[in-house]
Structures are given as C-alpha cells and as structure tokens.
Structure 1
Amino acid sequence: MQPTTMLISAILITLLNGSLGWCHGVMGTVNEINAYCITAMYDDGEPMSYAKIEIMAPETTIPFQSGHTDRNGSFVINTDIHGTWHVVVSDGMGHQLTLDFPVESDKAAPLTSSREAPQAPQKAIISTLPNKTNRHLEIICGLSLIFGLWGILFGWKARRCKIRG
C-alpha cells in the first residue's frame, strides 16, 4: 500500500470514527421548585431585557449568583440561606435597580444529612440524543459505513487496475 493511501485512509478513519464513537450527549430536566423570581422593569413598564444581574447572599462579600435577565426582565434564583438578600440589576446604559428581599424559613433550608430535599415533579426532559438510541449500535453502524465505503473504493480501484492490465 502506498504511503499517501495509508495517510488518507488514516485521516478518514480518524474523522469518521471520531465523530461517531467518541462523542457524548447531554441530558437535563426542568423541575417546578419553590424559588424567587426577580423581575426588573423600567418606569414605563418595559422589561429590562438581558440586563446584568448580581445577587449577594446575606453576610457575604462575593456574589452568590450573577448572570443576565431573560427577554422579559426576569431571573430565577433558588436560595439556600436565611436572611436578607441583595440584588443589583444594571442594563449597562446607566439604569440600575437595587433590591433587598428577605428569605423566610419556608423558602430556604440548607440540606443536612438528616433531612432530604423534597422531590419536585419533573416537567420535561431535554436531551440531545435521539429517543431509544443505543451507543453500541451507533458505533457498529459507523464502522460498517467506514468499511463499506473503503470496500467500494478498493473495489473500484481493483477494477481499474484489472482493466489496464
């Protein structure tokens, strides 16, 4: 076998096999929980869409959570410490909203080994993998495709050599 053919075959096997056999999927759940929804609006009622938000837990100096509001100006947080929480929402154009809200004992309770978290009903499962996908079957299909394509290529090449010689 010629070096160029070996190089091309190695590259193709790496590209085709790597994308089929070594990738992974992700899964997630959407649960209904007892949480706080922070909504930021301008004085005319327009939501502060995609504004930067920073949330500070009671008696801390580093942010508990930071991010951006959604297009409706909302941000949801699941608190875990009792006390008064501090929120700063800024749109980057000079508008800033500062809120303080108390967290009561029924909304936040740190988890300990003696108490387990209540299970919330599961709303939806979001996955990038197709339903009922078997990883081994995907690998076998990928290898079959590779060997099938190489069989066609070498069969065509052998036919050309037979016609010439």
Structure 2
Amino acid sequence: MPTAPWLATGRLGEGQLARLAKLLPGLAASGHFRVVMLHHPPVPGVVSTRKSLEDGEALRNILATHGAELVLHGHAHEAALGALPGPTGLVPVLGVPSASATHGGRHPPARWHEIEIGEAPEDRQVWITARGLSALTGAFETLGRYRLTAA
C-alpha cells in the first residue's frame, strides 16, 4: 500500500502475520531451517520511524513465541546485523546494503551475501560470505566471512 509523501513505512498485515504464526511451528517440528524474509528491518532502530515496519512488534512477538533460525531483510541500504528474542535463544537478523549502489553515493557501495546453511537438522551453522565493490579497484571481491549461531 502506498504511503504518504516522505514516508517509506511497511506493513505485513494481520493475514500475513497469522499465516506466519501458523506456519513456523510446523516447519520447526519437521526439522526445517526457517528463514523469514521481508523488506523492512524487524529490529527497532535500524531505520528511522518514517521508514519502519508499522507492525514490527507483532512480528517480533511471533518470533519470540515460535522462533526462526534466520531473518533476512533489506530496505536500510546499509549492512545490519542484529538479533531478536526467540523461544530458545536469539534469532539472528541480517540486512544487506543495496545491490545497485555505486561508490560516492549516500550509502555504502553494492554488496551481497552468500549464505551457507548446514544441511543436517542438528547442524545449524550459518556461514555468511560478504562480497561487494572494492573501493580500490571497483571490482567485486570478498569482503569478509563469518559464522552466525542460530537459535
């Protein structure tokens, strides 16, 4: 739904939130690695209120009750790594910068993340390899690699 001028808020809506709350427990019971993907950051403070997720608290309550192994988001145009409470620990939340930003803009240059997830249900390791435009060469290169610990 369009927002008023100078706003860039988002909303999941009651229907989508209800479907998520219904889906997450079944996926957990069957041993699936649950990745929740959305545009707006669910962690408060990553973007200003005028760019935030209006029903973020409802989403955070669902994640606190049912959990997920990873949450991915965009919208902030900058890298963001955070966590939200889940039923058994923290749920990692990863945001990546724009894939089309260039050097010299308001935001960091283009970056993307390769995400590797352990295949076995008991192996919940998540490896992130960040790749982006080099400030020196302008070519894409590996910027770093790290491991997330999923709840």
What interval of TM-score do these two structures reach, taking the shorter chain for normalisation? under 0.3
The structure whose residues are more often helix, as a share, is 1
- Per the normalisation by structure 1, the TM-score is 0.24
Q: Relative CO higher for 1 or 2, CA cutoff 8 Å, sep ≥ 6?
A: 1
Q: Which has the larger radius of gyration?
A: 1
With the length of structure 2 as denominator, give the TM-score of the two structures.
0.26
